[in-house]
Structure 1
Amino acid sequence: MRTWLLLLAALVPLAGCASPTRQQPRESAPSARPSPGHATVSGAAPSSPAAPSLVAAAPSATVLRYSFDSGITGPVLDGAGRLPLRVRRAGGQLSTVPHNGGLAVRFPQPCEHYGAESCARAILQSGPAEFLNPGQEAFSYGASVLVAPNETSKGANVLQKGFSVGDSQFKLQVDGAAGRPSCVIVGVGGSTIYVALASLSVADGRWHRIECSRSDALLTVAVDGQPRGRAAIPPSLSIVNADPLCIGGKGTSANNDQFAGAIDDVFITRAP
């Protein structure tokens, strides 16, 4: 099995969250009614004694963590310096705002006409990041987000690696006017999009920590440490792709699912 700590020999910036020749498909928002190719379960996890068996175990070994405390004027390094992020823009700007004694990244405001070519777009993107591929292993990922009630939109990606169409993927998003976060995974060679949709909104102008956890057969979304939604997944589901890590959107095309608001403390962990 590929080790998660493999260091890549080169980090080559790309134009989107996949190769420049790859189209960036519009991905389904979890707030929409699931299609036959979607598997979605939302709502808070039960508080009964049986609840622990229904919640994905949280992996604890850090693979990547970005604090953004050194700013975004140059390459943005994770805590171990493995995977630099660079700003990619199409008319939009990124800035920093104070958070917890450090800095967070502020993304462009929502566009009046979602997906229009004139919309301001800006993301953070890595080079190749195959060492982040979890395969079939348990792992978790997430971030702290600040979203105001007027900053929600049809599509808003917090972090993403891979695509749901002809690829495999893991993603955290805050899609829809209600601002409910969701965790999304798609397996290699599969067409089903598995979505764990939270039962509450985070679009209240306050900071919230969102965590997605994948165990053998369960995908869980937690908000501020509390499980808020889950979806059953096949134990054999494998996530492996050659795509980079993108934060704040899936690329810089017009349909990039641009996040509005602020993001901090992005992390990816795996089971020790």
Structure 2
Amino acid sequence: MRTLALRRRFVLSVALVPVVAAAAWIAHRSIGGGGPDAAGAGPSAGPHAVASAKVPGAPAAQPSEVKTPSAAPKGSAALRYSFDGGLAAPVVDAGGRLPLKVRKVAGGELSAVPHEGGLAVRFPPRCEHYGAESCARAILQSGPADFLNPGQADFSFGASVLVKPSETSKGANVMQKGFSVGDSQFKLQVDGAAGRPSCVIVGTGDSTIYVALASRSVADGRWHRIECSRGGALLTVAVDGVVAGQAAIPPSLSIMNTDPLCIGGKGTSANNDQFVGVIDDVFVTRSA
């Protein structure tokens, strides 16, 4: 009789697993958002976002003593920036394919700061009047970067960031290529007072904004590695190697534009979604 009771208890436990998982998925399925992010518009989010909870049981990332290149995601690395050469000359990626220039307005400045034996880039301080012409802005921007267009292929992009609780804002772009209005795009942002990172993509010829919003904040004054990845019909955001959010996307979604790659903001207009904090190890990887 005891054996039979144990078997019944085991079957009941297994049956409850999909019910709990489904409840968690439904609880995170709806995320509100702002407007489009074309020049002069507010930070983008999306009505079609689907977030998932952080995968439990994974170990926290440990800081390293010496800065080392991160392992390249599967596929062929399109470009990677370490910023270890500083900002005195055009910033070049590891392969020398896409140099970046400093663009600054209203007294905005970038500075190179130490990070794990190398350098990272600190962006202008937070402005009390978000979107005001008087706010200091500064970004890194490339020329046309058509070779980064993933089309319908799987790809990933991301960076390491350090954001203090006092540095969050309405809109804060880590990196972006393209726009959501009349264009296509992919971008990584840390929007909102909570400082939760999100991955955003918009397909060519479709104004729908797809957002994978992380279930956790990175605005704690410590370094975090954020990676966005598109795999078929799924957009995923991972923080420190742990999946923190996902969104369903059309398998046919294609990203193709002639826009530059921007780091730290989408441009230098007043409402440029200026990033506040420090950025390092930016990468974009396309499938082979």
Deviation at 1:28, TM superposition (A): 4.0
Partner of 1:132: 148
Partner of 2:77: 62
What code does the residue aligned with 2:86 have? G
Deviation at 1:185, TM superposition (A): 0.1
Q: Deviations over 1:15-70 (max 9, x none)?
A: xxxxxxxx61424444xxx5xxx31112325569xxxxxxxxx5342110000000
Matches within 5 A, 1:79-90: 79-90=94-105
| Stretches of 4+ aligned residues off by more than 4 angstroms | 45-48
Q: Deviations over 1:123-172 (max 9, x none)?
A: 00000100000000000000000000000000000000000011000000
Partner of 1:176: 192
**2:222 matched to 1:213?**
no
Partner of 2:90: 75
Matches within 5 A, 1:1-272: 24-30=39-45, 34=46, 38-44=47-53, 59-90=74-105, 91-272=107-288
**Structure 1 vs Structure 2: percent identity of aligned residues?**
74
CA contact (8 A) 2:52 2:245 kept: yes
Distance 1:156 1:96 in 2: 19
Structure-2-length-normalised TM-score: 0.79
Deviation at 1:206, TM superposition (A): 0.3
Structure with greater helix share of residues: 2
* Unaligned residue ranges in structure 1 (runs of 5+): 1-22, 49-57
> Matched residue of 1:150: which SS?
helix
> Matched residue of 1:182: which SS?
strand
Change (3 A) 1:59 1:200: same
Partner of 1:6: none
Q: CA RMSD in A?
A: 1.4
Deviation at 1:191, TM superposition (A): 1.1
Aligned length: 235
Structure-1-length-normalised TM-score: 0.84
